[in-house]
Structure 1
Amino acid sequence: MKRHDLINTTLPDELILEIFTHLEESKPTCDSCSLVCKRWLRLERLNRQTLRIGATGNPNEFIKVLIQKFFNVRNVYFDERLPIHQFRHSKISKSRKKSRKRRRNRSGGSFTELYSSESEASDLEVSTLTDSGLIALAEIGRLEKLSLIWCSSVTSVGLISIAEKCRTLKSLDLQGCYVGNEGLAAVGQCCKQLEELNLRFCEGMSDTGLVELATGCGKSLIALSVAACANITDISLQAVGSHCISLQTLALDSEFIRNSGVVSVAQGCPLLKVLKLQCINVTDEALLAVATCCFSLELLALNSFQRFTDRSLCAIGNGCKKLKNLTLSDCYFLTEKSLEAIGSGCSQLTHLEVNGCHNIGTSGIESIGKSCAGLLELALLYCQRIGNYALLEVGTGCKLLQALHLVDCTGIGDEAIRSIAEGCKNLKKLHIRRCYEVGDTGIIAIGENCKYLEDLSLRYCDRVGDDALIAVGQGCSLRQLNVSGCHQIGDAGIMAIARGCSQLVYLDISVLQNLGDIALAELGEGCPLIRDVVLSHCRKITDVGLSHLAKKCTLLETCHMVYCPFVTSAGVATVVSSCVNLKKVLVEKWKASERTKRRAESILSYLCVDL
């Protein structure tokens, strides 16, 4: 019956709340529910468990408002890296201010918006979260996850209040906070269920605090991250090894950690599954202990090690049979012997990244291709000694490969790419950058064989031209395409993509000197779902082509168009007026007219300022 509310007159509160629990827990979804009616607003506030907060005008007051509106919050994520939004009320009519205030009061919108509507101040004074806000937040009592990223004004006083009143806390992220040892010790004494702890860039802490935490709640701790903490040394890791028997994830980035700390963790934490190390003073001895004791290890990331040798990786290959994910970055003394050992010993490997390891050659990747049939992702970055034969073996042996990343691999060309295309038909992502031996032949093979390809990036591959994109457009349904700097690509290639890839949402065609308006017109007709487009340094594009694209691609959110000499202020105005979802437009400042600035100043970004 028209105007008859069947839901609210029939369903009790309990059933509507149960329905809410099955909805996706995201802010847009929750806000949409709360806007239906006052009853749903009240019920949604009872149901919402997660709050994500960026920088605000007055964060302490913001917290007090939130805990009055949302009673059952369990997870709070506070990140002061997120920008504060400023509203200029002199440019907003009174009627718009009143309607905005009503809508945001009903939806429980951000305090920044509420505060700006009520105060009618042109700018908001930016401040940071302090202990006062944390003390108010502690009143929630049943908090389970708390993230305080770069909240530099928070001290141990606020953290002690959280620890004493939120004893069910399971996850604590203090990245970039200057909380001292007293706060960390209080968490150890009170939060016996703590499972995750992030201490990245916590310069105010030392061994004293972390040792007390490990002693107090070490039995429940599952994940620990430490980075750039000058006063946390091997003493802390020895305590972790002694008390944290359930530890599964450890990430360390420190020049003060040495072998003894890592060895202690390896010997005391047999359940360790994830180990990420960037510790320049750690040597083979530490990894030998990991290989001997951590038989459950699944992910190993070694970054910037100049003291590791093949001896370490050979031991890992012999001992860690469950290893699935391996990252080797700037490990200069590792050779292909390391990968040969990994290939023969870790047959369950699914992800491999080799980045800047200049002594690893073709035979190491060949071993992976022969032994690791379940490989899903392979990244070879700045590997000058790896040639075509490496990928020939991968194409033959790794039929399940879904993602391949190649950067500055000068020894890899069309023969290798063709082998991947013919053997790895499930490929979904292919990223190639500055591999100058890769041309049309290899990419045509990709288009003919890899029907599931969704993400293709061919940045600065000079030998790739229109024929390659025509094959891709005919054979694949791409969602993301980046051909920045591929000078041989022109209108024909991009038109083929427009006709064959109707689901395209991201496009980077910057630095294509031969691309003209006809290609943009085809993109507008064939790819209406595009949300992000980069057109910078396209010297033949004019306002006409840009107009066709903007009027058809109404979902556009970001547009970069600097150094396009035939795009004028009229073209910029067309984009701004046609695409209501725009969040960012990058353009030269002089191309933004006064009217465009008045209409969309908040989304305009400029390459340079007036001299």
Structure 2
Amino acid sequence: MSPKRITNTHLEFIAKTCPKLEFLNLNLKQLSVESQNSDGFDEVLDFDDVGVLAIANGCCKLCEVLFRRRKRVGNVGIISLVKCAQSLSVLDLGRCNLINDSSLEAIGCMILIRVLNLEGCSLITDKGLAFLATGSSSRTLKRLVLAECDRVTDFGVSLLQGMCSLEELNLAECGPKVTDDGVIAVASIASLKRLNLSWLINVSDITLVAIAEKCRNLVALDLTGCEMITGAGIRAFGYHQCLDSLVMASCYNICGDDVDMVLKCRSLRSIVLDRGLRMWIPMRMQENISRFCQLHWR
């Protein structure tokens, strides 16, 4: 991971000298404004599709490519990359905010893609999700990050139920257009192990009941900021066989009795609660919870 500017010239040099390259990490380390100024980072001079095209044409054996926060990377470069690098299995485009549905159409045709990070790619819509959910990628993707893709709706999210191998899905902060209707459809993905629903304010208890019943392999669930959920939804996990981690920060309709009931889930090892609830849960109950799993406050 680099905190420095990388130019098209740099990538052209790599393409010419490293034709057998399999792993390329050009993620941009997140810096404060002050750090960027002191380090002389100039986003305008950073590499763009010209450099990515050089990599695509010169390094066809790539298996993993990480471009997070490289804001000048666009559809032209990515489409060429995924077509040339047939062995590509990991692609990180987080915060590459020029990426839209055109790139997802090409990615949807990939036959080996396992991990795809699209965090903060706010131009992506339901059309792009349809490409992922109906193409070759639907059979191979195991981890998909859609956090902050706030143009997607229940329609697009519902299509993801066709991803038969998906183990991890991050829908955090996808906005108010993702509701119970979309997430209940996702709950039918039997292979899901990790699900992040943080700050989906229109997700309620009915979704939790569906997840508890259908996602029998789920080990981690993040419900941070899901303000509509109550103890009724949480209690649905009381007899879940696999759940290991449950995050409920900024969930204000949960009480100590609800958490106590969830402890019937003997696989549970970690619970995160909002720190504002600490004074309302009796110390004896906190101690009882802590005997069975780690109790964290956030």
Mark the runs of 5 or more structure 2 residues left unpaired by the alignment.
29-40
Residue 421 of structure 1 corresponds to 133
Distance 2:133 2:48 in 1: 28
Mark the runs of 5 or more structure 1 residues left unpaired by the alignment.
1-300, 588-606
Distance 2:125 2:279 in 1: 37
Match of 1:379 among 75, 92, 98: 92
2:284 counterpart of 1:586: no
2:230 counterpart of 1:516: yes
Matching of residues 229-244 of structure 1 within 5 Å: none
1:510 to partner: Cα distance: 1.3
Residue 11 of structure 2 corresponds to 313
The SS at the match of 2:93 is strand
Residue 479 of structure 1 corresponds to 193
Residue 323 of structure 1 corresponds to 21
Contact 1:556/1:579 (<8 A) preserved: no
Residue 559 of structure 1 corresponds to 271
Distance 2:237 2:182 in 1: 18
1:417 to partner: Cα distance: 1.9
Q: Are residues 508 and 567 of structure 1, via their aligned partners in 2, closer, same or farther at CA, if it must alter by over 3 Å?
A: farther
Post-superposition Cα deviations, 1:518-576, rounded to whole Å, max 9, x if no partner, equal 21111223x232222111111222233222212x1223222111156598324x64464
2:95 counterpart of 1:357: no
Match of 2:3 among 287, 304, 323: 304
Contact 1:461/1:486 (<8 A) preserved: yes
Post-superposition Cα deviations, 1:30-88, rounded to whole Å, max 9, x if no partner, equal xxxxxxxxxxxxxxxxxxxxxxxxxxxxxxxxxxxxxxxxxxxxxxxxxxxxxxxxxxx
Match of 1:344 among 18, 32, 57: 57
Contact 2:289/2:295 (<8 A) preserved: no
Distance 1:575 1:420 in 2: 44
The SS at the match of 1:329 is coil
1:372 to partner: Cα distance: 1.7
1:366 to partner: Cα distance: 0.9
1:318 to partner: Cα distance: 2.9
Contact 2:142/2:166 (<8 A) preserved: yes
Normalised to the residue count of structure 2, the TM-score between the two structures is: 0.86
2:111 counterpart of 1:399: yes
Post-superposition Cα deviations, 1:484-520, rounded to whole Å, max 9, x if no partner, equal 1111111122211111111222111111111012211
Q: Are residues 573 and 562 of structure 1, via their aligned partners in 2, closer, same or farther at CA, if it must alter by over 3 Å?
A: farther
Residue 455 of structure 1 corresponds to 168
Match of 2:184 among 464, 470, 475: 470
Post-superposition Cα deviations, 1:355-410, rounded to whole Å, max 9, x if no partner, equal 222222111111112212221111112212121101111112x1211111122111
Post-superposition Cα deviations, 1:196-249, rounded to whole Å, max 9, x if no partner, equal xxxxxxxxxxxxxxxxxxxxxxxxxxxxxxxxxxxxxxxxxxxxxxxxxxxxxx
The SS at the match of 2:188 is helix
Residue 288 of structure 2 corresponds to 577
Contact 2:252/2:274 (<8 A) preserved: no
Amino acid at match of 1:305: K
Contact 1:369/1:394 (<8 A) preserved: yes
Contact 2:78/2:103 (<8 A) preserved: yes
The SS at the match of 2:118 is strand
Amino acid at match of 1:304: P
1:441 to partner: Cα distance: 2.3
Higher radius of gyration, 1 or 2: 1
Q: Are residues 325 and 405 of structure 1, via their aligned partners in 2, closer, same or farther at CA, if it must alter by over 3 Å?
A: same
Q: How much is the aligned-residue C-alpha RMSD, in angstroms?
A: 2.1
2:106 counterpart of 1:408: no
2:246 counterpart of 1:533: yes
The SS at the match of 2:238 is helix
Q: Are residues 504 and 564 of structure 1, via their aligned partners in 2, closer, same or farther at CA, if it must alter by over 3 Å?
A: farther
Matching of residues 76-115 of structure 1 within 5 Å: none
Residue 191 of structure 1 corresponds to none
Normalised to the residue count of structure 1, the TM-score between the two structures is: 0.44
1:436 to partner: Cα distance: 0.9
Distance 1:344 1:575 in 2: 59
Aligned residues: 280
Q: Are residues 334 and 365 of structure 1, via their aligned partners in 2, closer, same or farther at CA, if it must alter by over 3 Å?
A: same
Contact 2:189/2:215 (<8 A) preserved: no
The SS at the match of 2:86 is coil
Residue 366 of structure 1 corresponds to 79
Contact 1:355/1:381 (<8 A) preserved: yes
The SS at the match of 1:503 is coil
1:429 to partner: Cα distance: 0.8
Residue 205 of structure 1 corresponds to none
Match of 1:504 among 218, 238, 247: 218
Contact 1:365/1:391 (<8 A) preserved: no
1:440 to partner: Cα distance: 1.9
Amino acid at match of 2:8: D
Amino acid at match of 1:478: L
Q: Are residues 406 and 383 of structure 1, via their aligned partners in 2, closer, same or farther at CA, if it must alter by over 3 Å?
A: same
Distance 1:399 1:576 in 2: 50
Amino acid at match of 2:3: S
Q: Are residues 573 and 555 of structure 1, via their aligned partners in 2, closer, same or farther at CA, if it must alter by over 3 Å?
A: farther
Post-superposition Cα deviations, 1:328-373, rounded to whole Å, max 9, x if no partner, equal 2338420101111111222211111112222221111111122122
Contact 1:450/1:476 (<8 A) preserved: no
The SS at the match of 1:355 is coil
Q: Are residues 441 and 344 of structure 1, via their aligned partners in 2, closer, same or farther at CA, if it must alter by over 3 Å?
A: farther
Distance 1:489 1:419 in 2: 25
Residue 542 of structure 1 corresponds to 255
